[in-house]
């Protein structure tokens, strides 16, 4: 099996999370060994097959985690995986590790190989499209500003949803209006809310 291509930027991510370095090194070694190519997506290490994002990992305050973007298809006979965001996430599954916990490399290796097999077999959850709910503030702004309406309508459905949820999820009208004003220049420029993290 040919090792995957590594990305020098991953080391900088490790430097930001020294408490997880040993675990990250184990994740990295296994994921490159199964032939996945390393990249940085949304500011974190990502592992790709045929250019598709299959596996990633990140460090948090209390734990670090490996996640499988189409993990719902993994057999998970060792019962290690959990839904990344219960009620929101359809396909992604994560495997959490506590500080200092040893990484079972053979098991991670097996899960990674299964994820690759599933990808090559075309197993993929298609996102359920939900009707876009736009807040009254955003709707009013678009009625009053044709350029804003045109720019919003030209965004991808995913980017429209991100803005609609970001603005509409604020409890107070003042906060919704503040978020709208901060988002307006990005919408007009055709930039998604989270584009800066996708590079």
User: Which positions ≥6 away from 47 have C-beta within 8 Å?
Assistant: 4, 31, 32, 36, 37, 38, 39, 53, 54, 55, 56, 112
Strands (E), the chain: 37-41, 44-49, 52-59, 64-68, 82-83, 93-97
Taking only the tens of pLDDT, the chain with its 199 residues reads: 678 888 889 999 999 999 999 999 999 999 999 999 999 988 899 999 999 999 999 998 899 999 999 999 999 999 999 987 666 678 899 999 999 999 999 999 999 999 999 999 998 887 655 678 888 999 999 888 888 988 898 888 888 989 999 999 999 999 999 999 999 999 999 898 887 665 4
| 110 φ/ψ angles, rounded to the nearest 5 degrees | -65, -45
Do 153 and 187 contact (CB within 8 A), yes or no? no
Query: What distance in Å separates the CA atoms of residue 82 and residue 89, rounded to the nearest whole number?
Result: 11
For the whole prediction, is pTM greater than 0.85?
no
């Amino acid at each position: 099996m040919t090792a995957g291509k590594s990305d020098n930027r991953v080391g900088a991510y490790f430097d930001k999370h020294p408490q997880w370095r040993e675990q990250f090194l184990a994740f990295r070694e296994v994921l490159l060994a199964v032939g996945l190519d390393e990249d940085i997506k949304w500011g974190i290490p990502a592992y790709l097959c045929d250019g598709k994002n299959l596996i990633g990992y990140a460090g948090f305050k209390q734990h670090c985690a490996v996640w499988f973007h189409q993990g719902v298809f993994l057999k998970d006979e060792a019962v290690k995986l959990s839904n990344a965001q219960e009620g929101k996430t359809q396909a992604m599954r994560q495997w959490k590790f506590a500080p200092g916990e040893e990484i079972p490399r053979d098991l991670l290796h097996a899960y990674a190989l299964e994820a690759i097999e599933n990808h090559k077999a075309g197993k993929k959850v298609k996102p359920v499209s939900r009707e876009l709910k736009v807040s009254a503030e955003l709707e009013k702004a678009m009625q009053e500003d044709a350029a804003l309406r045109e720019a919003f309508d030209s965004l991808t459905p995913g980017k429209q949803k991100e803005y609609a949820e970001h603005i509409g999820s604020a409890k107070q009208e003042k906060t919704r209006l503040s978020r709208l004003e901060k988002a307006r220049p990005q919408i007009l420029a055709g930039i998604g809310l989270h584009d800066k993290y996708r590079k």
